[in-house]
Every structure is written in C-alpha cells, then in structure tokens.
Structure 1
Amino acid sequence: MSPLVKIRSERDQMSAVERRVADFILENAQLLRDYSSQQLADALGISQSSVVKFTQKLGFKGYPDLKYSVGEAIARADQGETEQVVPHARAAVGEPAGNLWRCKSGAEEETRLINSPDTLRAVAEAIAKAGATGKVFMIGLGDDDIYARSFALRLSLLGMAVVHHFDAARMAASVSAAGAGDVLLVFSEHGNHPALCKIGRFFRERRGRLISVTRHTSNPLRALADIALLVSAHDDRPYIQPVLYQSALQHLLDNVFVQLCESDEQRHGQLLRNLERVRQMLEP
C-alpha cells in the first residue's frame, strides 16, 4: 500500500494533530521533498516529535523514509500509474466532473485496501451459510436503509431468506427468532446509534453473527461486530463526502455479492431463474 493511500485510509482514526500532518502531506505531496521534519512542524505549528511519531505510527522508520516513499508514489503517478496523489483535493474551476470520478476512484481504492480479501470472504461465507440453513437479518436507519434494502433484495434473488427492517423496534422483535448461524448486517455510517448497538447485542445473545457496515472509524458498533466491513471516504467539501461514501459502500457490497454469485452454481442458477420471473412480471 502506498503511503498516500495508507494516510487517507487511516485518517479517520488519527488524532487532531495527526490529521493536520496527514492533510498537509496529502494536499502538498509534491512539495514534501523540500521540507525537513522541523520545517514541516514549523509550518503546522506543532513539535518536531509529533511529526516523527506520525511517521512511525504509519510504519516508517522515520520522516526521511516517509518522504522518500511519497516521492516514489508521485513518480509512479507521473509515469501514468493509476494511483491518484491527492484524490480528495479540489478540482480546478471548470473541471468538477473529472475531479469527482477521481475522488470516487480514490475512495473505492482505499476501501478495497482496508477490507482484506479474507474479510470479504468471511462475510460472503457467513451470509451464504445463514442463507442456506437459516435467515439473514438486515437493518439500516435513514440513508443507510437505501443500501440495506438494496442488498436485501439482491440476497433474496439468490434464494435466501432475508428479514429486512428500517425500524429498530420491529427488528428488535424479529431478532428474537434468530438462532445460531443466522447473520445480522447492520448498516450505520458512523456506527454509534444506541438502538442499533442494543439490537446487535441482543442478536449475539441469540448466538447469531453480527456484521457491521460503517466508516473506517473507531465506533461502538464496529467494536461489537464479529466481522466489520469498513468504508473510507474523505473530502473537505460537505457535499462531496457523502457522495464518496455512497460510491465506495456500493462498490464494497458489489464485491460481496459477486463472490456469493460466483462461489456456488446453485445460487447462480437461482438468481437467473428469479431474474427471469421478475422480467416476465414486469412485461406488459
């Protein structure tokens, strides 16, 4: 993972001082070669030791190693490789559309890197097992319900028994019928809704497996989950950040759905049959 992608993906978990260093590096990556650790500290109004601790926390031996690694990332980008040096930077005036797809691409790449293949495989296997022998429960409140509802429909097309609610009280009642091996997916961008955490605890008491879908931050729901799916999406503009989150989240769910389709021929066949039934129903 390049240093710039690593910084972006871990920014949400950083302290206020660390975020200042991270944002400076992301926004001025091309200038970093001209800064010593002391000059960077002076520019940000922090101590030199804070800069050194920041680099070590990222896994580098020191500031020179970070600076060298960033320089390599910039050189690769200049040679036409796909990584964007500053995916969340503001576009030049007149180029909003081009900047948006680069921002989306960056958010999706960061999200892919922080969710390991083993994690995605574990999520797909847990859902597949629950869908074959039990039930898959799903809930999201507000905007999060858009993705819970869509994913629930997709799993239904695969022949799985899905219990979807957008009301916490109804879900609390429904999970009382959950059993060992069932799965509950909770969609919560910030992962701190008290009702959803209570439902998660109740579900685990029923020996079900809890899968959280949240931002890449430290939050109560993520800490409670058996498996955590994480979304990384950052931008200083309040109207762009939710767009990036939605795009990266959809890409993450698409990945899980494709694994479910391709890992079992019977599920794939059931999907095709159900899609044909839906097409026939919608025909005039």
Structure 2
Amino acid sequence: MSYIRKIKADLDNYTGTERKIALYILQHIDSFKDCSSHSLASTLNIAQSSISKFAQKLGTRGFTDLKMLLIEENVRAKNAVKGKNLHTTIQSDDPCNVIAEKLISEKYNALRQTTEHINFGSFEKIINLIHSSQRIQITGIGGSALTAKDLAFKLLKIGYHVICEIDSHVQITVAQSLTKQDLQIVISYSGNKKEVLLAAKTAKANGAKIIAITSLAQNPLRDLADYILDTVSNEDEWRSSSISSRTAQNCITDLLFVSLLQLNDARSLSMIQRSRQLINKLE
C-alpha cells in the first residue's frame, strides 16, 4: 500500500486536524526523517495524541512506524525515477536470490496486513449474502480480472450460479440484468476504473447488492458498495505489475471460497469430487 498516495486520496475526508497533519507530511516528505511526533505537534499546534491517532488511522502501529514507511516509500519513488527500481523495493542490480527474498517478504506482508484488516463480523454477513444470492456476477479488469476468474471457477465448482465475463461491455450487459435477488462482487485495487464502476452502478440501480474487494484508500467503489473487503498492499505507482495487490486479493477470495465450502461442506465436497471424476474421464 502506498501511504503517500493514501494520504493524498483521503485529503477531502479528513478532519481539520488530520488534514493539517496530512498536508505537512506531503509538503515535507523529503525532510520527514528529522521529524518527531513532539516536534510535529509543536509545529502544528496540535495534541501529540492526534498524530498517533492519525498514524493508526492509516493502518500503522504509530507515528514512528508511519515515518519509517513514508521514508522508505519516498526513497523507492526517487530511485524509480532514476531507473533503479524494477518493482517496489527490487533494484535493477539485485541478484536473483535477493529478488526472491524481497518477493516473499512483499507477498507475506500483503497476506498478513490484509488478514489483520478483516472485520470478521461483517465477513460472516458477506458469506451468508453470497450463499443466499440467486446469481453472482464477479467483475474486474486487468490483473483483477485474473482474480475474478479464479474466484468464479472455485464458486462454480461448489454449486453457485456465477457469471464472470472479462469483456467490460459484457460485464455491463450482465449487470443490467441483475435483480435484488442477485449479487455483484467487484474486484478493483484502485477502485476507480470507469468500466467496473459503471457495471456496479448499473447493478445497484437494479437492486443488486455490491461487495467491493478494494484497497484502503478512499475511492468511488467504496462509496458504491454495500460491503467492503479491504486489500492491503505496499505496491504503489512504481510497481511493474500487480504482484502483492493480487496476492492480497487472492487472500480474500480464497477465504471466501473456503468459508463457503465450510458452510455446506458435504454437498460442496461431493461436487468437487464429482467434477474431478468427470475430468478424469478425459484422460
């Protein structure tokens, strides 16, 4: 997750005090390493506790944690401009074993942070909603379309009526046929792709419920959704591909699948076994 981008994206949603902190950070990012919560509070004439709360609101443990993440992110951004970064922290001169370790760390952090942000009370409601829906449309474009297709295949295997088309025009056409008995699951890390937003608006206008699988940053998709499942990733504008963001998405979709599998385990496992037996006949 890009903390700098999240701060920028949420500027209009902050309180007066939060906005003062956010603007100071954005304007002094290059010299932020010399800043302490005490000095920042004194400069802005606010309570030191407000700074800690702001850092925690962004999903970090506190000001020191946020400061280190922002400094690291700023360095990555500068290196990327100079052509040194291939992807997030991976440098153009990193040996393969170092690249492997950095990728493991990036994916692990995405899995851990995404799991920690799940509201399991809301998650159980989402599972029941999926289970009770007549039809389920799953949408996504680009890298998110791969996650959408994977989830669709898994839900089809255990008996759910799922529609997942990659073409954005077809997605919109399907969305206009949904009813209040149906559900649309929208997968979009940015949450601002016009194709998926139009499909979501169309489905919602027909009474269908919307589940958004998206990033923590405030975005139009979050405003449209009835339920939100957060995905957390350290990828930012300097990424070369949606590696950890798709890892975060798969964390959510795999948890959805296993939870639905558990909900009706005997029937679902029977269907998976039957599918395997049929496929084996092709060998």
Tell me what 1:149 maps to: 149
> Once the 2 structures are TM-superposed, how far is the Cα of residue 58 of structure 1 from its aligned partner?
3.8
Q: Distance in 1 between matches of 2:121 and 2:30?
A: 30
Stretch deviating more after TM superposition (173-182 or 9-18): 9-18
CA gap 1:279/1:123 in 2 versus in 1, 3 angstroms: farther
Post-superposition CA distance 1:102-152 (Å, at most 9, x none): 22111111111122212332222221111xxx1111121222211111111
Q: Secondary structure at the match of 1:229?
A: strand
Q: Distance in 2 between matches of 1:166 and 1:50?
A: 49
Q: Distance in 1 between matches of 2:122 and 2:28?
A: 30
Q: Secondary structure at the match of 2:160?
A: coil
Tell me what 1:76 maps to: none
Q: Distance in 2 between matches of 1:114 and 1:162?
A: 27
2:53 maps to which of 56, 61, 69: 56
Q: Residues 121-136 of structure 1 correspond to what in structure 2 (within 5 A)?
A: 121-130=124-133, 134-136=134-136
Q: Residues 4-153 of structure 1 correspond to what in structure 2 (within 5 A)?
A: 13-15=6-8, 17=23, 18=25, 36-37=36-37, 41=40, 47=43, 49=45, 52=48, 53-58=50-55, 94=95, 95-130=98-133, 134-153=134-153
Tell me what 2:200 maps to: 200
* Equivalences, count: 240
Q: Does 1:181 align with 2:176?
A: no
Q: Distance in 1 between matches of 2:154 and 2:272?
A: 9
Q: Does 1:274 align with 2:275?
A: yes
Contact 1:89 1:235 in 2 (8 A): no
**Identity over aligned residues, as a percent?**
18
Post-superposition CA distance 1:51-86 (Å, at most 9, x none): 9443232459xxxx8569x9xxxxxxxxxxxxxxxx
Q: Secondary structure at the match of 2:247?
A: helix
> Once the 2 structures are TM-superposed, how far is the Cα of residue 194 of structure 1 from its aligned partner?
2.3
Contact 1:21 1:51 in 2 (8 A): no
TM-score (norm. length: structure 1):
0.70
2:276 aligned partner, one-letter code: L
1:207 aligned partner, one-letter code: G
> Once the 2 structures are TM-superposed, how far is the Cα of residue 20 of structure 1 from its aligned partner?
8.3
> Once the 2 structures are TM-superposed, how far is the Cα of residue 220 of structure 1 from its aligned partner?
0.5
CA gap 1:159/1:36 in 2 versus in 1, 3 angstroms: closer
Contact 2:171 2:199 in 1 (8 A): yes
Unaligned runs of 5+ in 1: 1-7, 71-87
Contact 1:214 1:222 in 2 (8 A): yes
TM-score (norm. length: structure 2):
0.70
Q: Secondary structure at the match of 2:137?
A: strand
Stretch deviating more after TM superposition (198-207 or 272-281): 272-281
Tell me what 1:242 maps to: 242
Tell me what 1:232 maps to: 232
Contact 2:2 2:236 in 1 (8 A): no
CA gap 1:177/1:237 in 2 versus in 1, 3 angstroms: closer
Tell me what 1:5 maps to: none
Contact 1:38 1:48 in 2 (8 A): no
More relative contact order, 1 or 2 (CA 8 Å, 6+ apart): 2
Q: Distance in 1 between matches of 2:28 and 2:234?
A: 15
Q: Distance in 1 between matches of 2:116 and 2:148?
A: 23
Q: Secondary structure at the match of 2:164?
A: strand
Q: Distance in 1 between matches of 2:217 and 2:173?
A: 29
